[in-house]
Amino acid sequence: MSHNDIRCQVAIIGAGPAGLALAHMLHRQGIDSVVLERQSEAHVRARIRAGVIEQSTVDVLTELGLADRLHAEALVHDGFYIRFDRQTHHLDFHRHTGRHAFVYGQAEIVADLIDARRQTGRPMFFDAADVTVADFDTDHPVVEFTHEGRRRRIDADFIAGCDGFHGICRESIDASRFNFMDRSYPFAWLGIMARTTPVTDEGMYCAHPDGLSVHSMRGPHLTRQYLQVPADTDLADWGDERIWAELRRRSASDDHPELETGEIIERSLAPLRSVVTDPMQQGSLFLLGDAAHIVPPTGAKGLNLAISDACVLSNALGVFYHGAGRDALDAYTATALPRIWQAQAFSWNLTTTLHRLGDGDFDWNLRRARLQRWANSVDEQRALGEVYLGLPFPTSWHPPMVPA
């Protein structure tokens, strides 16, 4: 071995929620890993994403000792509001399930996970360039990367592909052995972060015949809001005034004051699509989170799925390193997929009910009929709430085998 070589049990590619949560779950079981991230640490910490965390996810993070700041700072919500026909309705999922949703930006979770990783003293490389994976059809997969001008090699037992939808792990698998199922939608979300006061005390989806607007928040004077826009939208066409006018028009109501406008501090465009990869593994390479599946942002399931995948894989690796064989690893896909499809079904339900999909009155009346059921039926609310606040994880988080 040269001094550029590293030996570890699990090479983790990507320092998003999936990779960082997995790294910590493995650490708690005494399993060593190396985390490789293409971007700089500052970039990863500042990346604004969705921010609704299921009770199920919070429970796991709490058990792992990773949720202290979340419990101190997150907004704790019972459900969300829907608005249509200028009327606002609260869907109180807490009443039906006893559970909550936690509003806490993904960047905050990622920052907490990076801090926790650093405290373990285990290796984590930011700015890792030209990462490659090889030999994962064997028990001796190899990862190479360039860091600070040096080409380095990792000999691992397993590779965890946590590098998102555009990462190299998806690219490296043998596509002929996989089923890639997807659905794209002809629209995107234009998202803003603004220094304004939220119009409601919990998040709100406004289903307007002309399209959806979403009114979420990160604090008492910080809002995160989205507009359904055509997929080919150019952000340059959307100045502040146009954004506020459209947010106000779609959210106009007879029962609340008009939306406050103010300084927009960030704006971005996100396409909407659903993707599921089956299987989520090849040999000793496993795909987690966005590397394996994408959900549209409607319902904010992405981060939660990333953490539940990490839970499934970390437990299977725990079983393996405990000497109990490969069965749980072989069953990784079969264990993780049912919950992923439940999240896909939920996101599809929200997406098709809340967005303008087609032209004409049929489309709008169909959506309104579904919205009326959500607003008026306790059974509908219970069913939505069960998934929104988080179905049980496929595997529980096993107690650590070594002290933290």
What is the DSSP code string of 62-97? HHTT--HHHHHHPEEESEEEEEETTEEEEEEHHHHH
Judged by DSSP in three states, 127 sits in: coil
Which one of residues 19, 164, 167, 203 is an interface residue with ligand PHB (CB under 6 A)?
Answer: 203
Nearer to ligand APR, 49 or 83 (CB): 49
Only one of the segments 16-24, 183-191, 217-225, 238-246 lies at the binding site for ligand APR (rule: CB under 6 A); that segment is: 16-24
* Site membership for ligand APR, residue 306 (CB under 6 A): yes
- Alpha-helical regions (H) of 177-301: 240-251
State the Rg of the chain over Cα: 22
In the annotation, is 205 catalytic?
Answer: yes
Alpha-carbon span 115 to 387, nearest angstrom: 30
Work out which of 99, 100, 224, 250 binds ligand PHB, going by CB under 6 A. Answer: 224
Which x/- pattern, by CB under 6 A, does the window 168-197 give for ligand APR? x-----------------------------
Short-list 221, 230, 219, CA closest to 269? 230
Is residue 367 a contact point for ligand PHB (CB under 6 A)?
Answer: no
Interaction of residue 162 with ligand APR, rule CB under 6 A: yes
Residue 301 appears among annotated catalytic residues: yes
User: In whole angstroms, what is the distance from residue 383 CA to residue 232 CA?
Assistant: 34
Is 146 in a helix, a strand, or coil?
strand
Is residue 298 a contact point for ligand PHB (CB under 6 A)? Answer: yes
Active site residue 388: yes
**Taking CB within 5 to 8 Å according to partner kind, which of ligand PHB, ligand APR, none is near residue 216?**
ligand PHB
* Contacted by 303, from ligand APR, ligand PHB, none: CB < 5 to 8 Å by type: ligand APR
77 binds ligand PHB (CB under 6 A): no
Strands 75-77 and 10-13: unpaired
User: Is 321 in the active site?
Assistant: no
Rounded CA-CA distance 65/58 in Å is 10
Does residue 295 touch ligand PHB according to CB under 6 A?
A: no
Give the C-alpha distances (Å, rounded to integers) separating 361 from 186, 299, 325, 358: 19, 25, 58, 9
Cα–Cα distance measured from residue 287 to residue 16, given in angstroms and rounded to the nearest whole number: 13
- The correct pick among 24, 38, 83, 218 for binding ligand APR (CB under 6 A) is 38
- Least gap, CB of 224 to ligand PHB (angstroms): 4
DSSP letter (8 states) at residue 232: T
Residues 122-141 that bind ligand APR (CB under 6 A): 128, 131
Tell which positions 281-300 bind ligand APR, by CB under 6 A. Answer: 289-291
What DSSP character marks residue 322? Answer: I
Which two tokens mark 330?
């072989």
Between CA 80 and CA 186 the distance in angstroms is 25
Whether the bond between 271 and the residue before it is cis, its omega within 30 degrees of 0, is: no
From the list ligand PHB, ligand APR, none, pick the one residue 39 interacts with, judged by a Cβ distance below 5 to 8 Å according to partner type.
Answer: ligand APR
Beta bridge partners of 331: none
Q: Check residue 264 for interaction with ligand PHB (CB under 6 A).
A: no
Positions in 306-325 near ligand PHB (CB under 6 A): none
Minimum CB–partner distance for residue 371 and ligand PHB (Å): 15
C-alpha neighbours within 13 Å on the C-beta side of residue 177: 11
Give catalytic residue positions: 77, 205, 297, 301, 388
Provide the binding-site residues for ligand PHB, judged by CB under 6 A: 50-52, 203, 214, 216, 224, 297-300
